[in-house]
Amino acid sequence: MLAELKIWLLLLSFLVVSSNMQLHVQAVPQVPCFFIFGDSLVDNGNNNGLPTKAVSNYPPYGIDLPQGPTGRFSNGLTMVDILAQILGFDKYIPPFANLASSDILLGVNYASAAAGIREESGSHLGVRISLDKQLVNHGITFSRITESLGSKDSATQHLNKCLYYVGMGSNDYINNYYMPQNYSTSQNYTSEQYAEALITQYGNQIKTLHSYGARKVAIFGVGPIGCTPFAITSHGTNGSLCVDTINLDAQLFNKKLVSLVDQLNKELTDAKFIYVDILGIGSGDPSLAGFKVANVGCCPVDEIGQCICSKTPCQNRSEYTFWDSFHPTEAANKISAARSYQNFLKTDTYPMDISHLIKL
C-alpha cells in the first residue's frame, strides 16, 4: 500500500506540474466553464469587502502566491484553484465580488468564508454569503450570460456543459452546532435530526442550482473537522488523534449526503451528481503523503484560529497539513484536488470521479 501511494503521489506531482505549465499557454479546458459554491476552503476574495472577521486578505496568507494575500485562506492555492489547473483553465476562476464581464462565460467563484447551508451559520463572525445568497448571485450571473449569449436557451445550453463544485456544511457544525453559546441548534436537534435537516435544505438548494442549468455537479462532503487544530485545542481528544464526536457527526452528515446524491440522480435524470469523500481523503496517516505536522497550523493564530497579521509562519510549509487552525496548506490542497479529479481509492468519490463526470 505504501509503495502504491508513493507511485500515485509521483503521478500526482506530474499532474500538478503539467497543469501549472498549462497556465502559461493558451490551454483548451476540459470543460468550458467552472462554477464554485462553498466556504473558506475555496473562498478566493468574496469576503474581502465585507464587515466580517472571516477575512484573509493580509499577510502571511498568500505568502506563496506571486500576488500575495488575495482572500484565500491558505499559504497558496486552494483546492479549486488546483482543480482549475488540472481542468486546463489558463487562469483561476474569479470571485463574484470583482468579476469582469469578459470572464463570466468561464465561470465564477461564489464561495464565502463562514458561510453555511443554514442562513445563520457563521453569523457571529459578521457578514457572510450563505449558500442561499450564493445561489441568488448565480441567478444574477445567469441573467448576465443570457444577455451575453442572446437567449435563455443559449445560456442554459452553455451552463449544461460546465462543472459545478458544491462544498458546504462545515460551518453548520463548526460555526453553529458546536457553538451553543451563540446558536440554539444543539439544544433543538439531536445529531441525527440536525444532519437530516441540513440534508433536506441542501437538497432543495442543489435543485435550485439544477434549475439554472447545472448538469455536472460534484458535491464535496464535510471533511475531518474533528482533526483541525482548532477542534483539538478547543474540545480535547481524550487520547485520540482527533475529536471523535465531531468526526462522527461529519460522518453522519456525509452518509446522508451520499443518499442525497442517489436521490438526485434518480429524480433529475438529465444531470449527474457525484459525491467526493473529503473526510476519507483527509484521514489516514499523513506521513504517507510526506507530511510531518498534522495537529497544529503553520502560522501563529488568534483566538478564532486565523493567522495573526504579519506574524512569521513556519518555513517548511510543505510538511504541514494545516496552514492555520482550520484550513489546509497548498500541499494538502493538491492531494484533495487530485484525488477528487482522479481516484486513488475507489471510495474517494461516488459513483465516479470528476475526470469521468466531465466526459458525460
For residue 80, the Cα-to-chain-centroid distance in whole angstroms is 7
Identity (one letter) of the amino acid at 67? Q
Specify the 3-state DSSP secondary structure of 73: coil
> How does 174-203 read in b/e, with b if 16+ C-beta sit within 10 Å?
bbbbbbeeebebeeeeeeeebbebbbebbb
Contact 145, 104 (CB under 8 A): yes
Q: Which of 39, 327, 348, 353 is catalytic?
A: 327
- State the DSSP H helix or E strand holding residue 356, giving kind and residue range, or none if neither: helix 354-357
Q: Assess whether 40 carries a catalytic annotation.
A: yes
Q: Beta-carbon neighbour count of residue 208 at 10 Å?
A: 16
Contact 274, 166 (CB under 8 A): no
Contact 46, 97 (CB under 8 A): yes
How distant, in Å, are the alpha carbons of 202, 274, 340 from that of 348?
21, 11, 7
Could you tell me which of 321, 326, 330 has the C-alpha nearest to residue 291?
321
Q: Which of 19, 39, 40, 170 is catalytic?
A: 40
Identity (one letter) of the amino acid at 310? S
Cell for 25? 499557454
Contact 358, 272 (CB under 8 A): no
Contact 54, 113 (CB under 8 A): yes
Q: Which of 39, 43, 64, 324 is catalytic?
A: 324
Q: Assess whether 191 carries a catalytic annotation.
A: no
Q: Assess whether 235 carries a catalytic annotation.
A: no
Q: Beta-carbon neighbour count of residue 151 at 10 Å?
A: 10
Between CA 217 and CA 226, with CA 220 as vertex, the angle to 5 degrees is 170
> CA 219, CA 167: separation in Å to the nearest integer?
6
Could you tell me which of 234, 281, 299, 274 has the C-alpha nearest to residue 76?
299
Any idea which residues carry the catalytic annotation? 40, 324, 327
